[in-house]
Protein backbone atom coordinates (compact mmCIF):
# COMPACT_ATOMS: atom_id res chain seq x y z
CA UNK A 1 0.00 0.00 0.00
CA UNK A 2 1.39 3.41 -0.95
CA UNK A 3 1.94 5.44 2.20
CA UNK A 4 0.01 8.67 2.64
CA UNK A 5 2.10 11.75 3.23
CA UNK A 6 2.06 13.72 6.48
CA UNK A 7 3.69 17.08 7.08
CA UNK A 8 5.13 17.74 10.53
CA UNK A 9 5.55 21.48 11.15
CA UNK A 10 7.31 22.43 14.37
CA UNK A 11 10.34 24.57 15.17
CA UNK A 12 11.43 21.98 17.73
CA UNK A 13 13.46 19.24 16.09
CA UNK A 14 12.76 17.04 19.11
CA UNK A 15 9.01 17.38 18.69
CA UNK A 16 9.28 16.79 14.93
CA UNK A 17 11.13 13.56 15.69
CA UNK A 18 8.41 12.40 18.08
CA UNK A 19 5.60 13.20 15.65
CA UNK A 20 7.49 11.71 12.72
CA UNK A 21 7.99 8.50 14.69
CA UNK A 22 4.26 8.25 15.42
CA UNK A 23 3.02 8.92 11.88
CA UNK A 24 5.66 6.67 10.32
CA UNK A 25 4.41 3.88 12.54
CA UNK A 26 0.96 4.56 11.07
CA UNK A 27 2.30 4.10 7.52
CA UNK A 28 2.61 7.79 6.67
CA UNK A 29 5.59 9.16 4.81
CA UNK A 30 6.67 12.17 6.89
CA UNK A 31 7.90 15.50 5.56
CA UNK A 32 9.32 17.99 8.07
CA UNK A 33 9.19 21.78 8.17
CA UNK A 34 10.59 24.11 10.82
CA UNK A 35 7.92 26.80 10.50
CA UNK A 36 4.83 27.75 8.52
CA UNK A 37 6.74 29.53 5.80
CA UNK A 38 9.02 26.59 5.15
CA UNK A 39 5.95 24.34 5.05
CA UNK A 40 4.24 26.56 2.47
CA UNK A 41 7.40 26.61 0.35
CA UNK A 42 7.56 22.81 0.46
CA UNK A 43 3.87 22.51 -0.40
CA UNK A 44 4.31 24.81 -3.40
CA UNK A 45 6.80 22.34 -4.85
CA UNK A 46 4.71 19.22 -4.21
CA UNK A 47 2.54 17.71 -6.90
CA UNK A 48 0.75 15.52 -4.37
CA UNK A 49 -0.66 17.37 -1.36
CA UNK A 50 -0.12 15.63 2.03
CA UNK A 51 -3.19 14.09 3.59
CA UNK A 52 -2.27 15.44 7.00
CA UNK A 53 -0.42 18.35 8.57
CA UNK A 54 0.50 18.39 12.26
CA UNK A 55 1.11 22.04 13.14
CA UNK A 56 2.72 23.73 16.12
CA UNK A 57 1.40 27.18 17.04
CA UNK A 58 4.43 29.12 18.32
CA UNK A 59 7.03 29.16 15.57
CA UNK A 60 9.34 31.81 14.12
CA UNK A 61 8.76 33.34 10.65
CA UNK A 62 5.18 32.10 10.29
CA UNK A 63 3.21 30.68 13.20
CA UNK A 64 0.75 27.82 13.03
CA UNK A 65 -2.39 29.91 13.01
CA UNK A 66 -1.12 32.00 10.08
CA UNK A 67 -0.22 28.78 8.28
CA UNK A 68 -3.72 27.37 8.76
CA UNK A 69 -5.26 30.56 7.37
CA UNK A 70 -2.95 30.49 4.34
CA UNK A 71 -3.76 26.86 3.64
CA UNK A 72 -7.48 27.46 3.94
CA UNK A 73 -7.23 30.27 1.41
CA UNK A 74 -5.62 27.94 -1.14
CA UNK A 75 -8.11 25.68 -2.99
CA UNK A 76 -5.33 23.26 -4.03
CA UNK A 77 -4.71 22.43 -0.36
CA UNK A 78 -8.36 21.95 0.59
CA UNK A 79 -8.09 18.20 1.13
CA UNK A 80 -5.28 18.43 3.67
CA UNK A 81 -6.39 17.63 7.23
CA UNK A 82 -4.99 20.20 9.65
CA UNK A 83 -4.24 19.27 13.26
CA UNK A 84 -2.84 21.83 15.67
CA UNK A 85 -0.34 20.22 18.07
CA UNK A 86 0.54 22.85 20.60
CA UNK A 87 0.90 24.00 24.19
CA UNK A 88 -1.63 26.78 23.48
CA UNK A 89 -4.35 25.23 25.57
CA UNK A 90 -6.60 28.15 26.43
CA UNK A 91 -10.16 27.65 25.21
CA UNK A 92 -10.01 30.95 23.31
CA UNK A 93 -6.96 29.80 21.37
CA UNK A 94 -8.57 26.47 20.50
CA UNK A 95 -11.64 28.29 19.22
CA UNK A 96 -9.44 30.62 17.15
CA UNK A 97 -7.61 27.73 15.54
CA UNK A 98 -10.78 25.81 14.74
CA UNK A 99 -12.46 28.95 13.41
CA UNK A 100 -9.46 29.53 11.14
CA UNK A 101 -9.91 26.08 9.65
CA UNK A 102 -8.01 23.56 11.75
CA UNK A 103 -9.81 20.21 11.95
CA UNK A 104 -8.51 19.07 15.31
CA UNK A 105 -6.47 20.18 18.26
CA UNK A 106 -3.97 18.20 20.35
CA UNK A 107 -2.43 19.75 23.45
CA UNK A 108 1.18 19.05 24.44
CA UNK A 109 2.09 16.98 26.35
CA UNK A 110 0.27 14.18 24.53
CA UNK A 111 0.80 10.46 24.63
CA UNK A 112 1.33 8.44 21.47
CA UNK A 113 -1.98 6.70 22.13
CA UNK A 114 -3.87 9.97 22.39
CA UNK A 115 -2.43 11.18 19.10
CA UNK A 116 -3.33 7.94 17.31
CA UNK A 117 -6.87 8.09 18.69
CA UNK A 118 -7.23 11.64 17.41
CA UNK A 119 -6.07 10.60 13.92
CA UNK A 120 -8.48 7.65 14.04
CA UNK A 121 -11.31 10.04 14.88
CA UNK A 122 -10.38 12.02 11.77
CA UNK A 123 -10.54 8.85 9.71
CA UNK A 124 -6.86 8.99 8.81
CA UNK A 125 -5.95 5.72 10.46
CA UNK A 126 -8.11 2.69 11.22
CA UNK A 127 -9.93 2.67 14.54
CA UNK A 128 -8.01 0.40 16.86
CA UNK A 129 -4.63 1.28 15.34
CA UNK A 130 -3.58 2.09 18.86
CA UNK A 131 -4.09 -1.42 20.18
Partner 1 sequence: MSVEVEVDENDLAEMVEQVWEAYLDPEGVSPLMQTYDENQPSEVHSSVSITGSWSGHVVYASSRAAAKRAAAAFLAMELEEVSEEDISDTLGELANIVGGNVKAMLPAGAQLSLPQVVLAPESSARYPNTERISGVYGLWEGEPVSISMWQSSTDTKEEGA
Q: Which of these segments, 46-54, 65-73, 84-92, 117-125, binds partner 1 (CB under 8 A)?
A: 84-92
Task: Give 81 or 93: the residue with its C-beta nearer to partner 1.
Answer: 93
Taking the complex as a whole, the smallest distance from the CB of residue 74 to partner 1 amounts, in Å, to: 27
Residue 122 makes contact with partner 1 by CB under 8 A = no
H-type alpha helices, the chain: 13-25, 36-44, 64-72, 91-100, 112-121
Task: Give 17 or 49: the residue with its C-beta nearer to partner 1.
Answer: 17
Angle between helices 91-100 and 64-72 (to 10 degrees): 30
Residue 35 makes contact with partner 1 by CB under 8 A = no
Amino acid sequence: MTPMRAMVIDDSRAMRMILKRIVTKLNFEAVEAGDGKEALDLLADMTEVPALALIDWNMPNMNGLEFVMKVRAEPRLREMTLVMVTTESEQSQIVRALAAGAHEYVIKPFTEGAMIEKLALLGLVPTGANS
